[in-house]
Structure 1
Amino acid sequence: MIHYKVYIQNENAEWVTFVHGAGGSSSIWYKQIKPYKEHFNILLVDLRGHGKSKDLKRKAFVDYTFSDVGKDIVDVLNHLQISSSHFVCMSLGTIIAQSIAAKYPSRIRSMVLGGAVTRLNVRSQVLITLGNLVKHMVPYMWLYRLFAWVIMPNERHRESRSLFVREAKKLCQKEFKRWFKLTRGINRFLHHLLADEPPIPTLYIMGEEDYMFLPAVQARVSQRKFSQLHLVTDSGHVVNVDQPEEFNRLSIRFIQDQQPMERVG
């Protein structure tokens, strides 16, 4: 089982599960834990190969799929006997949450998707193609630093860049390659995954400076019934780090606005 950590507010509180992106770990949520645990029970997970899950022994895992990674999280929910949870996700973690929503919709009460990835633009696809061409020839950290600078180019994105580069150093080259393979054909995968909208309340929180991913999210949300979008000024891709107070205010209020779960007993 992947590594996880819980903070219990009380036995009747709503659960919130935090899902980080590729190259990160649950430590990226350090600006969310304190305000969230005043209201909710919190579940933090380290995705396979990341954080404290990097040393887990797995049988014959060659390649990963988003479905595999999502099942890891569902296994933790089952282990903790959490029937359903709100999900707060960042970057590639937003794809994992939506994979869970497609396969296990009853497990997700609502979704907060920060720096959401719904489609790769031309620049992103060029980067991915370049990365696939040279990933066996250059250290993975060179690629990761390049991606970090392209995705988060501004001076005020420095903290986000530094955080993700620091966390990515904890990955080994083999794990990086496994995760990088997930990007192959990702636009076809996302088109199929997001073709139907599950009836799950969803809040997209995007930085106005998230040049790589914002336009696709804006187009997506305009066609959705259960989704809404909030733009955060002076913020790039990693909005929970760039503007944590605004992110916390918006996301906590959104979760609190959802109807309480029906409880038995």
Structure 2
Amino acid sequence: MLYYKTFIKDPSLDWVVFIHGAGGSSSIWFKQVRAYQEAFNVMLVDLRGHGKSKEMSTMKAYYKEKYTFKTVSRDVLEVLRNNKIDSAHFVGVSLGTIIIRTIAELKPEVVQSAVMCGAITRMDVRSRILVWLGHTFKKIVPFIWLYKLFAWVIMPKKNHQESRSMFISDAKNLAKKEFLKWFRLTYDVNPLLRYFKEKEMQNPTLYVMGSEDHMFLPPVKKMIADFERSSLHVIEGCGHVCNIEEPDLFNEISIKFLKNNATHLQQETA
């Protein structure tokens, strides 16, 4: 099972489950945990091969298994089942937002609402070129070089440095074989994103994007124009990882949204 950590304030409260992106770990949410604990039970998850779930990649079954967004998402669902959590609010960043969308497809009743930070909803020409470069050179150059290139292209500005450094630092802990297995998921991204673009999640969804998220903000704006249960909040002067660059504002925006959709708060006002 995945490594996870829980912060339980009261068993009667709703759960919030945090999903990090590829190459990262649950440590990316360190600026959120305390604020979220005031109103919710919190669960941090390290995806397979990442953070403290790294030992999973040494298990024979996982070593041989081809990774797909469904298998990675089922890992998270297994953690919820074992903790007897029937439903939760999800907060994800970057590729973690695709995992949340996949969970909502596999088990829509599990997702009460979702906050998508730096959401990936389409691969534009630049991102497709990056992926092509990655597949072309992944067996020739050290994978951390590729990851640094991706991080710099996605988060190029000086004020993105903390986010960029954190992603690179976490990625250094990945084994090369694990990086390659995750990188192969990029083959599945475009077909999946085309499907998600045409189908909105059943539950309320808030997209929190930085105004400087030059690769991923434009397609999010275009996509939610046709959606009814989704909304977008753009944080000015912020890049791809808003929860790191503007944590106080991100916390305020996202917690307000989650409280508006929290079962325990709705019951109190009924």
Q: Same-fold call, TM > 0.5?
A: yes
Which one-letter code corresponds to 1:25 in the other structure? Answer: S
Per the alignment, do residues 259 and 167 of structure 1 end up closer, same or farther by CA in structure 2, a change over 3 Å counting? closer
Per mean C-alpha deviation after superposition, the further-off stretch among 81-90 and 191-200 is: 191-200
Q: Deviations over 1:86-138 (max 9, x none)?
A: 00000000000000001100001000000000001100000000100000001
**Hey, what's the Cα distance between the residues in 2 that align with 1:203 and 1:159?**
24
Per the alignment, do residues 44 and 185 of structure 1 end up closer, same or farther by CA in structure 2, a change over 3 Å counting? closer
Are 2:197 and 1:164 equivalent residues in the alignment?
no
**Hey, what's the Cα distance between the residues in 2 that align with 1:109 and 1:231?**
22
**Hey, what's the Cα distance between the residues in 2 that align with 1:63 and 1:133?**
20
Are 2:227 and 1:224 equivalent residues in the alignment?
yes
Contact 1:99 1:193 in 2 (8 A): no
Unaligned segments of structure 1, at least 5 residues: none
Q: Which residue of the other structure, out of 178, 182, 194, is the alignment partner of 1:179?
A: 182
Look up the match of 2:48.
Answer: 48
Look up the match of 1:197.
Answer: 200
Q: Which residue of the other structure, out of 145, 149, 152, is the alignment partner of 1:146?
A: 149
Contact 1:102 1:193 in 2 (8 A): no
1:94-109 matches, within 5 Å, as 94-109=97-112
Q: 1:189 Cα shift?
A: 1.9
Which one-letter code corresponds to 2:68 in the other structure? Answer: T
Contact 2:122 2:193 in 1 (8 A): yes
Are 2:33 and 1:33 equivalent residues in the alignment?
yes
Q: Secondary structure at the match of 1:49?
A: coil
Q: 1:63 Cα shift?
A: 2.1
Contact 2:117 2:208 in 1 (8 A): yes
Provide the TM-score with structure 1 as the length reference.
0.97
Q: 1:188 Cα shift?
A: 1.6
Per mean C-alpha deviation after superposition, the further-off stretch among 49-58 and 207-216 is: 49-58
Look up the match of 1:91.
Answer: 94
Q: Secondary structure at the match of 1:111?
A: strand
Q: Secondary structure at the match of 1:230?
A: strand
**Hey, what's the Cα distance between the residues in 1 that align with 2:188 and 2:71?**
17
Q: 1:196 Cα shift?
A: 1.7
Q: Secondary structure at the match of 1:86?
A: strand
Q: Secondary structure at the match of 2:55?
A: coil
Tell me which stretches of 4 or more aligned residues in structure 1 moved more than 4 Å. none
Are 2:199 and 1:213 equivalent residues in the alignment?
no
Q: Deviations over 1:139-175 (max 9, x none)?
A: 0000000000000000000000010000000001000
Q: 1:62 Cα shift?
A: 3.7
User: Which has a greater percent of helix?
Assistant: 2
Matched length: 263
Contact 1:70 1:96 in 2 (8 A): yes
**Hey, what's the Cα distance between the residues in 2 that align with 1:36 and 1:259?**
12
Contact 1:86 1:111 in 2 (8 A): yes
Look up the match of 2:83.
Answer: 80
Contact 1:21 1:92 in 2 (8 A): yes
Look up the match of 2:158.
Answer: 155
Q: 1:193 Cα shift?
A: 3.5
**Hey, what's the Cα distance between the residues in 2 that align with 1:159 and 1:127?**
22
Cα RMSD (Å) of the superposition?
1.3
Look up the match of 2:5.
Answer: 5
Q: Deviations over 1:51-74 (max 9, x none)?
A: 000112240534210011110000
Unaligned segments of structure 2, at least 5 residues: none
Q: Secondary structure at the match of 2:173?
A: coil
Q: Secondary structure at the match of 2:114?
A: strand
